[in-house]
């Protein structure tokens, strides 16, 4: 029996994880889960319910009651929702509440593609393929700025986005639980100089090499 093809894609904000993960999932015909949406949805429900985002237990209660049917809402993908997500993602009980759903998704017989911060390290430590996507903070801030402008936002300023990207890197990498870091066996993919197509080709090369090696070719 072939082993499930579980692909873990991690990296900092605006590195291109989501764009890459979606295309990789389509290429290998696998289901895809953007795990950032879980944290974003919890953040939003916390805000809507008037819950204190800095209270780990109160935030975890919201996480335990999360309705995953809400993940389709496009407004969750906004920049502000990402900031709030990063704030509540530091709480260990919030993270624990979201583990079972992510592992359940990853355990499909054919495999799955998941992207986030701790997929290769915590959620799927035995994933067959792990890719850690990076790009310089400046490139990522530029991408985020362009994205916001393309979505019609007029109040965006590159300098502010850069400061926010750096602050989020620091919070995501510096937290005690499941900090953002490459797994020991992750393939690093720096997309600073790569457009989306080039990053996709590089990721497929990684997947194909791992598959060929594991199949004994």
Residues of the binding site for ATP: 11-19
Is 164 near ligand CDP (CB under 6 A)? Answer: no
Contact stretch for ligand CDP (CB under 6 A) within 47-55, 60-68, 194-202, 205-213: 194-202
Residues numbered 168 to 187 that lie near ligand CDP (CB under 6 A) are 168, 172
Give the residue carrying structure tokens 């260990």: 92
Q: Among 17-25, 156-164, 182-190, 208-216, which window interacts with ligand CDP (CB under 6 A)?
A: 17-25
Which tokens in the block code for residue 180? 């953002």
Q: Which of 41, 124, 194, 206 binds ligand CDP (CB under 6 A)?
A: 194
Q: Binding-site residue total for ligand CDP (CB under 6 A)?
A: 28
* Contact assessment for residue 10 and residue 119, using Cβ atoms and an 8 Å cutoff: yes
Residue 85 in contact with ligand CDP, rule: CB under 6 A: yes
Binding mask 121-160 for ligand CDP (x = CB under 6 A): ----------------------x---x-------------
Is residue 120 near ligand CDP by the rule CB under 6 A?
no
Contact (CB, 8 A) for 133 and 17: yes
Q: Examine residue 16 and tell whether it contacts ligand CDP (CB under 6 A).
A: yes
Task: Report the interface residues with ligand CDP, using CB under 6 A.
Answer: 11, 13-19, 35-36, 39-40, 82, 85-86, 89, 116-118, 143, 147, 168, 172, 191, 194-196, 199
């Amino acid at each position: 029996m072939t082993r499930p093809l579980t692909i873990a894609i991690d990296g900092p904000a605006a590195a291109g994880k989501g764009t890459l993960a979606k295309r990789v999932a389509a290429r290998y015909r696998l289901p895809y889960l953007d795990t950032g949406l879980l944290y974003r949805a919890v953040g939003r429900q916390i805000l809507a319910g008037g819950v204190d985002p800095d209270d780990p237990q109160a935030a975890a209660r919201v996480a335990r009651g999360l309705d995953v049917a809400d993940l389709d809402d496009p407004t969750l993908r906004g920049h502000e929702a990402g900031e709030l997500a990063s704030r509540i993602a530091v709480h260990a009980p919030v993270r624990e509440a979201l583990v079972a759903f992510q592992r359940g998704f990853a355990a499909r017989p054919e495999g799955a593609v998941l992207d986030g911060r701790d997929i290769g390290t915590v959620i799927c430590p035995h994933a067959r393929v792990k890719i850690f996507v990076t790009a310089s903070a400046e490139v990522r801030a530029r991408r985020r700025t362009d994205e916001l402008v393309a979505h019609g936002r007029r109040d965006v300023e590159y300098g502010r986005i850069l400061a926010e990207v750096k602050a989020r890197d620091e919070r995501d990498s510096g937290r005690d639980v499941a900090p953002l870091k490459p797994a020991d066996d992750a393939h690093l993919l720096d997309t600073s100089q790569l457009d989306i197509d080039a990053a996709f080709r590089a990721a497929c090369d990684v997947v194909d090499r791992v598959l060929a090696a594991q199949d004994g070719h």
